[in-house]
Amino acid sequence: MSASLNSLADCFPFGLSLMISMTEVISLFLLFFPPLVINSGYQQNDLASSPERSLSGSFRKFASGQSLDGSFRKSNSVISTQSVSGISSSSKFFQTPRRVDKVLKDFGREFKEQELFKQGLHDWVLENYGVGDVTGKQSFLNSPFLTDELLKLDLALEGVLFQQLFRMPCSPFASKSLKEDGYLALEDFFHVIVNGLWRTFWHKSGPVPFTLSCVRHPGSKLYDVDKAISRGSLEELRGLALISRSGNDQKVHWNQVVEFALFRQDILSGNKLTLSVSTICEALFYGFHILISRCMNKFRTISNDSVFIMVFDSKFGAVIKLGGDLSKLELNTADPYQSVVHWIKCHAEVLVSSVERIWNTLGNANWGDLGTLQVLLATFYSIIQWNGPPRKSISSLASAHSLRLQKRRIECHLAENENAMAPYQQVGYQHGEIVELDHSDNPLVKNTSHLKLKQGEILLLEDLQQGQKSFQIQESFIGGNYFLYGAISLDYPTQLLTLYVGAHPSRLEPSWEDMSLWYQVQRQTKVLNILKHQGVSSKYLPEIIASGRLLHPGPCRKQSPSGRCDHPWCGTPILVTYPVGEPLSYIVSRDNPFSSDDALRCCRDCLVALRSAATANVQHGDISPENIIRVFDVQGTRNKALYIPISWGRAVLEDRDSPAINLQFSSSHALQHGKLCPASDAESLVYLLYFVSGGTMQQQDSIESALQWRERSWATRSIQQHLGEVSPLLKAFSDYVDSLCGTPYPVDYDIWVKRLNRAVDGSRSTDRGKMIEEVAMTLRLENVAESSGTSGGGT
């Protein structure tokens, strides 16, 4: 033992030239490798007082083998995973020590008898999830999903085609051919789901980074259904696993399992529409194997603390979610089943959904029904676990439901009345002529809550300061919660402008969606006017061209210039800005992550814009990929691209203003206090750069989880490490922002703009970093003022 410790002391580089006592060596060993001491001659009471280092750098006490009642158990084969950073569910890019990795493999190898596991867990499952003899219902059914989540997903997937070609056989008689058809149908079912979700939320083109493999038993080789059929091993199969493809490795491993689908002949408890106890136990058996396999990854880049297991027969299906802190699992290789059962009972969370019909009597999937929606949402969250948040969120796609509903209403009205005409539709007008249509008796006008515009339509804008201005719609960019169009001014038809259409003032109170429009139009008008009136002008900031109210067709009976009549469009606010560009969220989803040059240019341009706004004491408050656009100059060369922050409606002008809350991109101070600190915009910019350069951002479902992700990412320096691979300068900038987060100290924009200028353009001018670059616009309309609810004094 003494020789071993002497050799250990030789392994520490800082101890080569110093005399270290045996006590010091033991202390150092326990400090850096506490989980590796596995009954090597020491009593467990010796380990109980040894310190453990956490990820935050603090130290705490731990005791191996402590039971729930506070007593201690002695075992010759017990290892606590509490202090193993490589097993922590919240860790990223941490290596698993070889000794612990071997223990985990041995533990997984011993944990293979499903029946022994069921015996230990049967009574607990029956008590918590079984069917009561009196009520006939499951005791504590707790679904992994909220009803609102499923409803939003249903709205988001409107128009997405899910088509299962292999029908699920529904015969009650088991046979080899039916089981073969069943697995082919299940494989096709999941192929349609994964492909549909990936194309809808992540990337419309390119390969899908997932595949499906058959499972015989935990630890078995994984291969596709066709190979299982050709080998005649269908009877041994237990289900299908969704596998994440990694690089060029053709071999499939259990630590690549994204989710698991258990396929049984019958999953119900007798004649009741509930899961049987044996089905739940078997699902948990495979779920735990997946969690423990993920822990044996050399590098973990995902959250390991939960997994979805779907259970199916030829008619019904349900979803089970197993999650928990594996650091609280005691790896007792002498009795692994008792260890896992104890962990599930005391430390894990088991959520079981309702059992729903998946396939109808013809073998077709009931797309849009509750059962398939549960499977779709479970797969959606599983993909997020491995590939990060989607390019398009469920909420943003679901918000377009109102547009589709409005379109359907228009179609219905047109079908009922052949003489009904769409708003502002051009019929026989000459070039440059504005045609007024009388809609006073048109029911379409009375039922329309938002103004929808089509290409070629002409709007007449009333600006109290500049008079009437005419704009023609060229294209539409209908976003999540606002209506955005590309338009030209009939006075200057050579430049494309951005035209925002707001909500009617009378609709702001009942609708959150319309309140979002208020920020996009009325308040953004106020902010841009403040910048304009204070002389802040930069080519990296949007410029206001016109703002005012829409002149509707037909007679207007308003009593005063600032009043409104009873026409549903009277008083609808309009904002026109320059320039027009593509949002970064769209660019990244289409073209993949940014290069180093693009990321540096994006950082430089955004900092110049933020610096210019800061001279007027304005902070953006909503930096995100949707709110940064890329604009090209007239030559359209890539090295002339500009990145411009837009959507200044949530800008903070004074202390009482609240910024937008974005779980992915808001600063920690904004999430925690609902206010901005001086470095909040710069912190959001770091998250944006991390995202556009290919960084993995976890989907957050609460402010608490978002704050935990930020704390963990900064503590482990995963953001700096990733940006360092893109550019050393971006890594230095992220380190600088990290030092300012939450402090009252302002960002030194000048020094960073100067450094980024040298990196982007090779400029060595010291003055360029301090200039506010003026923009020469051919379409500048002087003295643009806010009107009717958009005055500078309003909020």
pLDDT at 431: 40
Mean pLDDT value across residues 341-363: 90
- The b-or-e profile of 328-351 (16+ CB within 10 A means b, else e) is ebbbbbebbbebbbbbbeeebebb
pLDDT at 141 over 50: yes
CA 593 to chain centre: 16
Q: Which of 280-284, 294-298, 335-339, 439-443 has the highest mean pLDDT?
A: 280-284
Give the sheet arrangement for strand 582-583, strand by strand: 582-583, 628-631, 642-645
Reported as half-sphere exposure (CB side, CA atoms, 13 A), residue 45 has a value of: 1
Q: What is the pLDDT of residue 304?
A: 61
Q: Are 14 and 8 in contact (CB under 8 A)?
A: no
Q: Does the pLDDT at position 24 exceed 50? A: no
Question: Using alpha carbons only, how large is the chain's radius of gyration in Å?
Answer: 31
| Mean pLDDT, rounded, for 563-574 | 78
Write out the E strands in 482-611. 483-489, 497-501, 543-550, 573-578, 582-583
Average confidence (pLDDT) over 549-553: 80
Evaluate if residue 458 carries a pLDDT over 90.
Answer: no
Q: How confident is the model at residue 495 (pLDDT cuts 50, 70, 90)?
A: confident
- The count of other CB atoms within 10 Å of the CB of residue 91 is 21
Under a CB-based contact definition with an 8 Å cutoff, are residues 468 and 460 in contact? yes
Question: What does each C-alpha distance from 739 to 591, 670, 730, 744 come to in angstroms?
Answer: 33, 16, 14, 11
pLDDT in the model for residue 130: 63
179-228 pLDDT tens trace? 788 889 999 999 999 999 999 999 888 889 999 988 887 767 777 778 87
Most confident of 189-193, 232-236, 421-425: 189-193
Span 216-244, average pLDDT = 80
Q: For position 762, what pLDDT does the model report? A: 73
> Could you give the CA distance from residue 552 to residue 546 in angstroms, rounded to a whole number?
17
**Closest residue by Cα to residue 376 from 532, 552, 150, 68:** 150
Q: What is the Cα–Cα distance from 686 to 733, expressed in whole angstroms?
A: 8
Of 396-410, 493-507, 585-599, 725-739, which has the strongest mean pLDDT?
725-739
Phi (first) and psi of residue 151, to 5 degrees: -65, -45
Q: Is the pLDDT of residue 674 over 60?
A: yes
Q: Which of 647, 402, 676, 669 is nearest to 525 (CA)?
A: 647
Question: Is residue 188 within 8 Å of 164, Cβ to Cβ?
Answer: yes
- Give CA–CA dist 372/451, Å, rounded: 35
Rounded to an integer, the average pLDDT of 132-148 is: 66
Which comes out higher in pLDDT, residue 88 or 359?
359
pLDDT digits (tens, 9 = 90+) for 264-297: 888 888 888 889 999 999 999 999 888 888 877 6
- Ordered domains of the chain (ranges, CATH): 2-105 (no CATH), 109-391 (no CATH), 400-426+434-537+543-578 (3.30.200.20), 582-774 (1.10.510.10)
Q: What is the DSSP string of 686-733?
A: HHHHHHHTT------SSHHHHHHHHHHHHHHTHHHHHHHHH-HHHHHH
| Long-range contacts of the stretch 10-13 (C-beta < 8 A, 24+) | none
- Residue 472 CA to residue 456 CA, distance in Å, equals 6
